Structure 1
Amino acid sequence: MAPIIDPSAIVDAGAVLGNGTRVWHFAHVCSGARIGAGCSLGQNVFVASDVLIGDRVKIQNNVSVYDAVVLDDDVFCGPSMVFTNVYNPRAAVTRKNEYRPTRVGRGATLGANCTVICGVSIGQYAFIAAGAVVNRDVADYALMAGVPARQIGWMGRHGERLAFSPDGSALCPHTGELYLIRHGRCQLLSDAQAVSI
């Protein structure tokens, strides 16, 4: 299935869009951007040239994805959330050679109106609360909130908060998946790993 592009959107020649990707009203995708299959780019979304977006990524209205940002598969970008790519911008100082790369891991959620300061990595299935400001790396499955963002818990792949028992294990209340905390990190156990415990 070919990409579906609203007539009001601009997709520059040289941009690559995967099968079934939808580009909604007044969006702009620059030449050189690479976007996977099954994505959704909402109204007023901007995607710069040096951007890589995986499959099934949902970018809600009014989000700008600037150069040096990578979004892995299944990332959710909430309405009006913000990426940056220069740490100390000045209008009178050109810093295009100082972009700091940002990577958002598979399945992560970036809540509405949150801000991701450039140069960080956000782990897979991490969950950034609405309005949070992320200025440091985020662990897999971490639940982050506040300004600056601090970890306040853990989230499962299904988007449910995990409640860990004293032995460091938690079951997702929706899927029954088993998670363990080991050495300060949260990890999902596969069925094979769970049987061997």
Structure 2
Amino acid sequence: MSRIKSWLLRQPFFYALMGLKYYLGNNLVAHFPNERLRSWYLRRILKVSIGHDTHVSMRWFVTGYPVRSHVSIGNNCVINREVYLDGRTGVIIGNNVNVSFQTCILSLHHDHNSPDFKAIGDVVKIHDHAWIGARAVILPGVTIGEGAVVAAGAVVARDVAPYDVVGGVPAKKIGERNRDIQYLTKFSPFFDSDVFDETAA
């Protein structure tokens, strides 16, 4: 089996086929209004781990290496529209996490001081009950602590302690969050909207 794998990894057509599955997912399936189909594609084709009662909105963009995307999402999470999930090194999202629209979560980038523009990175970890605001950017290797809040538009380059509220560029602590968190996220809107039956939540 290792010989076959080694041979495949040397073949240009293999990378073309693997690239095609990401292209179809990000540019076709992600725009399809049926959430079951989108979820099936993420789980079965891109190998994204998704927990129970988790909603991934339309127009997501997932990256990864040829065989699989190293993205894991826990239970009762909301991944809102146009979120970028960089599964090349890895993204691990806990339970009951809210990731707002147009958030960019990077696990790999380049060393600007490297003569050959070397790629560097590490796994991003977002712990339970965290809330990531709209258009936030989380850089490789960052850990967002339990219950932490990242304000909209923040660029997070360092770890965020549990229940801290951070904001700005680069993100700095601007407050603390109440530790008495009782809600469970349940959000599954109709089509590409924020319209859903709140009485069913």
TM-score by length of 2: 0.61
- Residue 46 of structure 1 deviates from its aligned partner by 2.8
Q: Secondary structure at the match of 2:128?
A: coil
Q: 1:57 corresponds to which residue?
A: 77
The verdict on how the C-alpha distance between 1:140 and 1:23 changes in structure 2, with shifts beyond 3 A counting, is: farther
Residue 40 of structure 1 aligns to which amino acid in structure 2?
H
The verdict on how the C-alpha distance between 1:59 and 1:157 changes in structure 2, with shifts beyond 3 A counting, is: farther
Q: How does 1:141-180 map to 2 (within 5 A)?
A: 141-157=163-179
Does the 8 A contact of 2:126 with 2:143 survive in 1?
A: yes
Counterpart Cα distance in 2 of 1:114 and 1:140: 18
Does the 8 A contact of 1:43 with 1:62 survive in 2?
A: yes
Does the 8 A contact of 1:24 with 1:41 survive in 2?
A: no
Structure 1 gaps of 5+ residues are 1-7, 11-21, 160-173, 176-197
Does the 8 A contact of 1:36 with 1:55 survive in 2?
A: yes
Counterpart Cα distance in 2 of 1:34 and 1:129: 26
1:86 aligns with 2:108: yes
More relative contact order, 1 or 2 (CA 8 Å, 6+ apart): 2
Does the 8 A contact of 1:73 with 1:105 survive in 2?
A: yes
Residue 101 of structure 2 aligns to which amino acid in structure 1?
P
Question: Residues 58-98 of structure 1: CA distance to partner in whole angstroms, max 9, x if unpaired?
Answer: 001000211100000011100001111113179x9674xx4
Question: Residues 130-178 of structure 1: CA distance to partner in whole angstroms, max 9, x if unpaired?
Answer: 000100000000000100000011012467xxxxxxxxxxxxxx99xxx
Does the 8 A contact of 1:64 with 1:83 survive in 2?
A: yes
Match of 2:46 among 22, 26, 31: 31
Residue 80 of structure 2 aligns to which amino acid in structure 1?
Q
Question: Residues 19-46 of structure 1: CA distance to partner in whole angstroms, max 9, x if unpaired?
Answer: xxx4587996253211101011111113
Higher helix share: 2
Aligned length: 140
Structure 2 gaps of 5+ residues are 1-27, 64-68, 184-201
1:121 aligns with 2:143: yes
Identity %: 27
Does the 8 A contact of 1:27 with 1:43 survive in 2?
A: no
Q: 2:125 corresponds to which residue?
A: 103
Counterpart Cα distance in 2 of 1:130 and 1:42: 18
Does the 8 A contact of 1:27 with 1:45 survive in 2?
A: no
Counterpart Cα distance in 2 of 1:66 and 1:134: 15
The verdict on how the C-alpha distance between 1:114 and 1:71 changes in structure 2, with shifts beyond 3 A counting, is: same
